[in-house]
């Protein structure tokens, strides 16, 4: 349904002009309905993605907390190799197992 312009021609009688305008109005309404349905679908998808992002953020926070606890337990147990393997999510790196981790800013 690719109709973009009303087919009103100068000199048409009034009935033909009205019919053309009504047909164009119907087409515009159908197009508006399609766009509104698409907008609703995109809104729904956007809400789902925001929720998924929030869920993943919570999972990441729990994972980081769990890793931090594991590093703390490893340090308390004297296992420096486990503590040295910790890598910051902000670009940290370890050059050797027994060295302290360094960030990219250092």
Position 29 confidence tier, pLDDT thresholds 50, 70, 90: very high
Q: CB of 21 within 8 A of CB of 6?
A: yes
At residue 103, the pLDDT reads 45
Q: 16 vs 81, which has greater pLDDT?
A: 16
Q: With 70 as the cut, is the pLDDT of residue 35 above it? A: yes
Q: Are 42 and 51 in contact (CB under 8 A)?
A: no
Q: What is the pLDDT of residues 55-76, one digit of tens each?
A: 999 999 999 999 999 998 888 8
Spatial separation of the C-alpha atoms in residues 43 and 56, rounded to whole Å: 20
Dihedral pair phi/psi, residue 102, rounded to 5°: -115, 145
pLDDT of res. 86:
53
| Distance from C-alpha of 83 to C-alpha of 40, rounded to nearest angstrom | 49
Look-up of token digits 């515009």: 28
- Higher pLDDT: 7 or 78? It is 78
């Amino acid at each position: 349904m690719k109709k973009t312009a009303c087919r009103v021609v100068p000199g048409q009688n009034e009935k033909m002009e009205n019919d053309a305008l009504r047909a164009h109005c119907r087409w515009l309404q159908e197009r508006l309905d399609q766009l509104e349905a698409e907008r609703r679908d995109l809104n729904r998808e956007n809400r789902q993605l925001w929720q998924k992002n929030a869920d993943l953020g919570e999972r990441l926070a729990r994972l980081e907390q769990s890793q931090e606890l594991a590093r703390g337990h490893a340090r308390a147990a004297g296992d420096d190799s486990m503590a040295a393997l910790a890598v910051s999510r902000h670009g940290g790196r370890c050059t050797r197992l027994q060295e302290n981790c360094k960030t990219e800013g250092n």
